[in-house]
Structure formats: C-alpha cells, structure tokens
A = this chain, B = another copy of it.
Amino acid sequence: MTRYTAPVKDMQFLLQDVLKVTEAGIPGYEDLDAGFTAAVLEEAGKVASDVLEPLNSVGDQIGCVLENGVVRTPDGFKPAFAAMKEGGWTALDCDPDYGGQGLPYVMGTAVGEIFVSANMAFNMYQGLTHGAYSAIHAHGTAEQKATYLPKMVSCDWTGTMNLTEPHCGTDLGLLRTKAEPQADGSYKITGQKIFISAGEHDLAENIIHLVLAKAPGGGEGTKGISLFIVPKFMVNADGSLGARNPVSVGKIEDKMGIHGNATCVLNYDGATGFLLGELHKGMRAMFTMMNEARLGVGLQGYAVAEAAYQNALDYAKDRLQGRDVTGVKNTTGPADPLIVHPDIRRNLMDQKSFVEGARALTFWGASLIDRHRRMDDAAADGLIGLLTPVIKGFQTDKGFDMAVQAQQIYGGHGYIEEWGMSQFVRDARIAMIYEGANGVQALDLVGRKLATDGGKHVMAFFEMVKAECKAHDSDDRMKPFTEALKLASKQMQQAGMFFMQNGMKNPNAALAGSYDFMHLMGHVCLGLMWTRMAKAALTALDAGAADKTFYETKIATGRYYMARHMPACALHLARIETGADPVMALAAEAF
C-alpha cells in the first residue's frame, strides 16, 4: 500500500547547489558533476522503487525464520540481494584495490538514503557488511584484507558487529566473551553475543563476524578488550570455504520492527578467531568506525521519515474530509482533501522541513568524512566527531516523531498494518536505540565531545555559524534565517557556559542537561543547514533558474523551520539551566 520515489532533485540541490561538490577541492569530488550524480541517484531510485520498496511490507509481515540453525530471510530477499550485488551497489564507495568503485562516501550516503527509505531492514545486510569492511580495511593486515575484503565488497560474504552481551550493552567493560590464544596465533572465542543484526541468514556464502572479546593479560574493564575476525566458515588458503566454525544461532528475536532483518543470539563455542588490529585495543578499533556507523543510523532516522512523509503527503492530497474554512476548494467533490486544513499543513511542514534539513546535515557530515579520509583533514575529523552524536541522537528522535506524525495523518487507517504507516513507526523506533542509545549519544556529546582537544571543535563550530551569518549580512532576504540562527547559537553557547561553570563542581549539573543539549545543538545544526540551503536557493533564483517553484519552496520550507522549530532552543536552554536539582531531587527509593 506504500510507495517510494527517490528525492533526486532535493539530493542534486544539496550536492550541486549547496555542497558544490565539484568545486570542493576534495579528491574524487571533481568527477561528481551534475550529470553523473543524477544518473547514479536515478538508477538507485529505480532499484529502490522497483525492487526494494515492494519487499518492505513483505519483510515486515513474513519476517525471518529460524529452523534447524538456519535463518531464512523473507520471500524475495534473495533475488533482490542478488540484484543489488549485480548492480554493483554494494561496492559503490569501497576501495578499488578490493573491487570497489571508489566513489566518495557522500555518494554512498546519498544512495544509502534511497535504499534505507525503500527498505530499511533489507538494507541492513549490506550496511553492516560495509561497517565490517571498514573495520578490516582500517585495521586488518594485508593478508586479512586480501582474504576478506574482495568478498565483502561484492557482498558474496556479509559482515556483522558483535558487541552486546545479555548483561552488558553500553557498559562494554563488563563483557565476558573470552579469547584464548592458540599456538598458531589464532584464538578460541567463547561466549554469547546478543542483538546481532544479520547474524545469520541465507543471502551470502559466508558471514564474517567481528567480535569483541577479552584475551588474557589485558586488565579490567574496556582496556582488556580486543577485536576478532570470526568467519562462519573457515577460509582456506586458496580462498575456498572450509570447515564450519562453531558459532551458532541461539534464537532470533521477535522485535517491534525491522522484521526483515534477523537479529540473532550468537553462541561462540570455541570458535576460531583472528585478532583484528592490536591486542587489547579493540575498543579503539571499534571507535574508528563509530562515526560512520552512527552517521548511518542518523541517516536511517530521516530516511524512514522521508518514506513515511511521501505516503502521508499522498494521503493528504487524496483523502477527502471536511472543508477548507476559508472557502471550498474541491467544488465538484463531497469534501476537500485533507491538505487544505492548517493542522494537516503544520504536520506535513514539520516533516518536510525536518527531513530536508537532516538530509543536508547528513550529506555535509559525509563530506567531512571524505575530507578527513581523502585529505587527512584533522579539523574535518574533529568536526564530524562533534556532530556525530547529534546526527545520530537528534535525527533518530525527530525521525521517529515525524514517522508518528505521518502515521497520524492517516487517522484510523494509520493504525492498520495493511496501510504500511505502522511499519515506518516500528522500524524507525530502533534507530533511537541501537549503535548507542540516544541518552548515550547525549553523554558522549556533553561528557566527551564538547571538551575534545580543549574544546577546539565546538569553538570552530561556533565560528563557522558566526561566519555563515556574517556572510549574509547584506542580504535582507536572509534575515529570517540568520537572525534565528544567531539567537540559537547564542543559546547553545550559553548552555555550554552553564556546563562549564557548574559541571566542575557537580558533573550531574551538566549531565542532567545533556539530552536537551543534544537537541539544542540539533536545531542549531539544522538552522545552519537551512541558512545554507536558503542562500543556495536565492543564488539560483538570482541567476534565473528555470524551476522557480522548486527554489521558492526550499526557502519557504526553511522559513517554516526557522519560525516554528528554532524557538525550541530556548526551551532546551531553560531546562538545561535548571541544572541537576530537579532531576536528582529524589532518592532512588523515593520513586
């Protein structure tokens, strides 16, 4: 009952008008001219609409099934996965040395959005493979890379990340999975991992598990953790598959959503593992992938909201109910379409202005990753480190809220599974939880990222916002943007000051406001994005762009965000400034 069309025009606007990729000076970006990027996005859009989207509800309804230790993915997933591999989509931004196409990460991000919008659960199989690929690419030996990467680039083999155990998720220092060194340099891995997405399935010949475990001699807590490669099937010297490694599925979870992806309990019973990166430095190896993985989850937040929005918009235009209070619009029909009603508009504009802002932030974030990787730009690395918890936490919170709002437009039909809106809500919910629950993102932001390198990156961020506002000083048309952004940035600085002044005495005074700060900064980021988008749109209009309506719509959508969402910054600041007292007033027993 749902449909999806890739928002190619909006993406092109970001790449060509806002990020101006060909002029950005990032190696590889010079090839991203408008014709090329449009061709890639349109082709991805076809795969998404024709192949992935029709399987989205199938995956939700059928789900994955575990029988005799084998997981069957939903009907149609196998041929669709084959089509993705054949089209080269799994290799898009991978290293050409291992069979990748070597496109910049920003292109992988744009295409990724399209696939996630069409079918989030399905796209996780290759998304997780990409994460494991990146870890091996960054930390593997030459032999490991040669052994695993080509097969992972093609998705003949898929990958997983194994962190969580039944008694520990956030607090990985507690983990119990053991790695015992063997005479041949390998390790025997023993323990139980839970919540392993794509942990077992029938889409690939082999599955490469990356597993956090404790090897002897590493000490207590997270210090003693190492990262291991544990293939489902051992790989022979000639690359052929050998014996089955003793890692088995205990069960697959019955979840609220993303039914098309198998979330597994994996039992490692002395499975053979190979150290990836340095011994006892597994956490560091994990963290180098964190920005990418969390950016990917932040993308899921708005990508699912985009799909929900497209359908809600269709419904709002089709469904006849009530009359426009300012005068009948649909004179030949029994009622006007929902979209005439101001409260429906409010709802749709909330969705539209969020999704487009979040897309801009995510694409910008991806370009920072490219800048770091391709130019070794430390400032870009510091900035994306600061933005990552915001992109992950803020965008998944809001993305979920927007999916709920999209569902609301359907009235009672939104609650009926057949219409597909419930799935968007249920699927979007997980993004707030996994890859570090959003409270942990807030903690990372306030407890760590603000102070990284002596606060250098957040200061650079403020300078960037200031410079952006200053650059448009002479353009009155930009005032609704720059004024709201300036105010919000000031409020964010004030919140930062509050943390500094009070957090030293009592860390809880800062931590009690961490969640609000994440949202406050999220609005500042989206305000910055809308300022840039508005300027790009005005520039295009000034240059006599053909599609006036498109650019005028961008500006109006941005003005909505500035007028109706940026005032949330004052609320977040007010909450932050209440400090620890209201939050911590009760003894635990008094609850």
Which of B255, B433, B568, B582 is in CB contact (< 8 Å) with A417? B255
Residues 409-446 of chain A, each 1 if its beta carbon lies under 8 Å from chain B, else 0? 00110111110001001100110111001110011000
User: Given A343-B512, A411-B437, A442-B343, A169 and B321 touching (CB < 8 A)?
Assistant: yes
Question: How far apart are the CA atoms of A174 and B404 in the complex, in Å?
Answer: 27
User: Given A326-B507, A343-B511, A425-B429, A556 and B256 touching (CB < 8 A)?
Assistant: no
B591 with A348: CB separation less than 8 A = yes
Is there a chain B Cβ closer than 8 Å to A141's Cβ? no
Those of A365-414 within 8 Å (CB) of chain B: 400, 404, 407-408, 411-412, 414
Is there a chain B Cβ closer than 8 Å to A341's Cβ? yes
Which of B257, B352, B408 is in CB contact (< 8 Å) with A591? B352
Cβ of A591 to closest chain B Cβ, rounded Å: 6
User: Given A515-B343, A553-B586, A433 and B415 touching (CB < 8 A)?
Assistant: yes
A169 with B433: CB separation less than 8 A = no
Question: How far apart are the CA atoms of A164 and B578 in the complex, in Å?
Answer: 46
Is there a chain B Cβ closer than 8 Å to A24's Cβ? no
Question: How far apart are the CA atoms of A79 and B209 in the complex, in Å?
Answer: 49
A253 with B325: CB separation less than 8 A = no
Instruction: List chain B residues, Cβ under 8 A from A344.
Output: 439
Instruction: List chain B residues, Cβ under 8 A from A164.
Output: 412
Instruction: List chain B residues, Cβ under 8 A from A439.
Output: 341, 343-344, 347, 408
Residues 341-362 of chain A, each 1 if its beta carbon lies under 8 Å from chain B, else 0? 1111111110010000000000
Residue of B nearest to A434 (CB): B412
Question: How far apart are the CA atoms of A253 and B321 in the complex, in Å?
Answer: 22
Question: How far apart are the CA atoms of A567 and B491 in the complex, in Å?
Answer: 15
Is there a chain B Cβ closer than 8 Å to A575's Cβ? yes
Which of B254, B335, B415, B586 is in CB contact (< 8 Å) with A256? B415
Cβ of A432 to closest chain B Cβ, rounded Å: 7
Residues 568-579 of chain A, each 1 if its beta carbon lies under 8 Å from chain B, else 0? 101100110010
Which of B253, B334, B506 is in CB contact (< 8 Å) with A326? B506
Instruction: List chain B residues, Cβ under 8 A from A553.
Output: 586, 590
Question: How far apart are the CA atoms of A170 and B344 in the complex, in Å?
Answer: 13
User: Given A345-B512, A557-B586, A567-B574, A253 and B430 touching (CB < 8 A)?
Assistant: no
Cβ of A372 to closest chain B Cβ, rounded Å: 29
Tally of this chain's copies: 2
A321 with B571: CB separation less than 8 A = no
Cβ of A460 to closest chain B Cβ, rounded Å: 26
Is there a chain B Cβ closer than 8 Å to A363's Cβ? no
Question: How far apart are the CA atoms of A415 and B258 in the complex, in Å?
Answer: 10
Cβ of A250 to closest chain B Cβ, rounded Å: 13
B347 with A313: CB separation less than 8 A = no
Which of B317, B342, B590 is in CB contact (< 8 Å) with A508? B342
A575 with B564: CB separation less than 8 A = yes
User: Given A325-B507, A590-B549, A583 and B174 touching (CB < 8 A)?
Assistant: no
A508 with B326: CB separation less than 8 A = yes
Is there a chain B Cβ closer than 8 Å to A580's Cβ? yes
Which of B322, B552, B560, B571 is in CB contact (< 8 Å) with A171? B322
User: Given A438-B408, A584-B345, A321 and B559 touching (CB < 8 A)?
Assistant: no
Question: How far apart are the CA atoms of A64 and B575 in the complex, in Å?
Answer: 45
B343 with A443: CB separation less than 8 A = yes
Question: How far apart are the CA atoms of A430 and B591 in the complex, in Å?
Answer: 28
B507 with A415: CB separation less than 8 A = no
Instruction: List chain B residues, Cβ under 8 A from A582.
Output: 349, 556, 559-560, 563-564
A256 with B425: CB separation less than 8 A = yes
A426 with B256: CB separation less than 8 A = yes
Cβ of A257 to closest chain B Cβ, rounded Å: 8
Is there a chain B Cβ closer than 8 Å to A337's Cβ? yes
Is there a chain B Cβ closer than 8 Å to A514's Cβ? yes
Cβ of A82 to closest chain B Cβ, rounded Å: 29
Cβ of A408 to closest chain B Cβ, rounded Å: 7
Question: How far apart are the CA atoms of A514 and B342 in the complex, in Å?
Answer: 9
Is there a chain B Cβ closer than 8 Å to A133's Cβ? no
Which of B415, B563, B585 is in CB contact (< 8 Å) with A255? B415
Instruction: List chain B residues, Cβ under 8 A from A585.
Output: 556, 559-560
Cβ of A515 to closest chain B Cβ, rounded Å: 6
Question: How far apart are the CA atoms of A568 and B568 in the complex, in Å?
Answer: 8
Question: How far apart are the CA atoms of A317 and B590 in the complex, in Å?
Answer: 12
User: Given A171-B322, A255-B417, A415-B433, A346 and B512 touching (CB < 8 A)?
Assistant: yes
Residue of B nearest to A352 (CB): B591
Residues 432-469 of chain A, each 1 if its beta carbon lies under 8 Å from chain B, else 0? 11100111001100010000000000000000000000
A171 with B335: CB separation less than 8 A = yes
Question: How far apart are the CA atoms of A254 and B421 in the complex, in Å?
Answer: 13
Instruction: List chain B residues, Cβ under 8 A from A326.
Output: 506-508
Given A253-B416, A567-B575, 11 more contacts at CB 8 Å?
A169-B321, A169-B411, A174-B320, A317-B591, A325-B447, A404-B429, A415-B429, A553-B586, A563-B578, A564-B583, A570-B574
